[in-house]
Amino acid sequence: MIILSGGTGTPKLLSGMREVLPEEEITVVVNTAEDMWVSGNLVCPDVDTVLYLFAGSIDPEKWWGVRNDTFATNDALQSAGQSEIMRIGDRDRATHILRSDMIRGGRSLTGAIRELTRRLKIRATILPMTDCAVATRIETQEGEMHFQEFWLTHRGEPEVLGLRIEGIENATPSDAVLSALENDDRVVIGPSNPITSIGPILEVRGMRKILREKEVVAISPIIGSAPVSGPAGKLMHACGYDVSSEGVLECYRDIPDVFVIDREDVDIGSVVGRGGGTGEVGGVQIVRADTMMTSPEKSVALSRVIVSAFEEL
Ligand code: GDP
């Protein structure tokens, strides 16, 4: 099974999916448009969250960084007058250093992540969506800025006027992503930000066309008129989408065969019946489930819903 992921909602799902499927059967294609060089090292927030999840070292409160990490290097840099855009933990930084060394030595990002997963004894396959440099830039009333600058430095507060993914027009999927997609017909679009996490993956050259041919189950990150967390609502609105599960489905257009929305979500199209039931909207089967992954058991239960949805396709 191939799972498209950002760095919070889908990793929560992955924590359940690895209990339901053998880990070797899971391939995660991860957004890289939030990556950024910081103090000489390439930080890949979404890829690293997925890495740490499978390595068993993720901080499950924040969904980024390593559990119980220390911050001595960050503090020392700060005292030396170099304040970093993000508070990077020491063990987390070790990952960044290793990866950046490999890249400076000529490896691709995909190759570096493959080596890191090997060293961390991870059996799942973790694939950056592309090896090409891409960056989500947010256009705000205070000017255009990198996504991290918008979210971390400005705490997501400026009014958003638009968004562009720098470099996406030349971004191609890696051979590893293409071959994973050739060998597996089941694709999950995880409950991640449809604009900044899933959006860039779908915009990598040829991805929409490939995914249209696959069996695709997507899970909505929106319940009612708000995301579970993060800036998805603000960004969807700025990009002209309704902030609702229906708006998410519009972002994914003709890709999903099944769309899982929360059992407490508002009706979508003509699909009614809070609390359960299924229906169809424009050829997409709608499945209602408890999508709020507030415990490991709930992540497992949602994973089982997804696996059965594939069985019924
Ligand atoms: P980012 O890379 O850190 O922005 O993380 P993602 O894009 O992977 O995840 C952010 C999205 O996950 C947000 O739009 C949230 O609404 C969604 N999300 C987080 N937790 C849950 C959950 O338990 N259930 C659902 N359905 N969505 C969630």
Across 55-60, average pLDDT: 94
Type of residue at 43: V
Average pLDDT across the chain, whole number: 95
User: Rounded to an integer, what is the distance from CA 70 to the centroid of its chain?
Assistant: 25
Q: Tell how far the Cα of 240 is from the centroid of ligand 1, in angstroms.
A: 20
- What Rg, from alpha-carbon coordinates, does the chain have? 19
Distance CA 117, CA 153 (A): 31
Closest residue to atom 20 of ligand 1, CA basis: 9
Percent of the residues in the chain that have a pLDDT greater than 90, as a whole number: 93
Type of residue at 213: E
Which residues does 202 contact at the CB level (< 8 Å), separation at least 6? 208, 211, 252, 255
Q: Tell how far the Cα of 292 is from the centroid of ligand 1, in angstroms.
A: 10
The domain ranges of the chain are 178-312
Ligand 1 atom nearest to 298, measured from its CA: 23
User: Please, are residues 220 and 293 in contact by the beta-carbon 8 Å criterion?
Assistant: no
- pTM recorded for the entire structure: 0.96
Distance CA 274, CA 74 (A): 47
How many other CB atoms sit within 10 Å of the CB of residue 86?
17
Q: For 235-262, b where at least 16 C-beta lie within 10 A, e where not — what string? A: bbebeebebbbbbbbebbeebbbbbbbb
Instruction: Using alpha carbons, select from 87, 106, 107, 13 the residue that is nearest to residue 43.
Output: 87
Q: Give pLDDT tens digits for 114-173.
A: 999 999 999 999 999 999 999 999 999 999 999 999 999 999 999 999 999 999 999 999
Instruction: Using alpha carbons, select from 115, 119, 99, 110 the residue that is nearest to residue 37.
Output: 99
Domain 178-312 = CATH 3.40.50.10680 = yes
Q: How far is CA 36 from CA 46, 96, 130, 184, in A?
A: 11, 11, 14, 31
CB of 248 closer than 6 angstroms to any ligand 1 atom: no
Q: Give pLDDT tens digits for 215-271.
A: 999 999 999 999 999 999 999 999 999 999 999 999 999 999 999 999 999 888 655
CB of 41 closer than 6 angstroms to any ligand 1 atom: no
Instruction: Using alpha carbons, select from 116, 111, 75, 77 the residue that is nearest to residue 94.
Output: 116
**Ligand 1, residues 197, 234, 239, 261: which to mutate, most atoms within 8 A of Cβ?**
197
CB of 15 closer than 6 angstroms to any ligand 1 atom: no
Considering only the C-alpha atoms of the chain, give the largest distance between any 2 of them, rounded to a whole number of Å: 60
CB of 234 closer than 6 angstroms to any ligand 1 atom: no
Q: Which two tokens stand for residue 307?
A: 């696996």
Look up tokens 């933990």; give the residue: 89
User: Please, are residues 67 and 59 in contact by the beta-carbon 8 Å criterion?
Assistant: yes
Query: What pLDDT shows up at residue 275?
Result: 47
User: Please, are residues 296 and 204 in contact by the beta-carbon 8 Å criterion?
Assistant: no
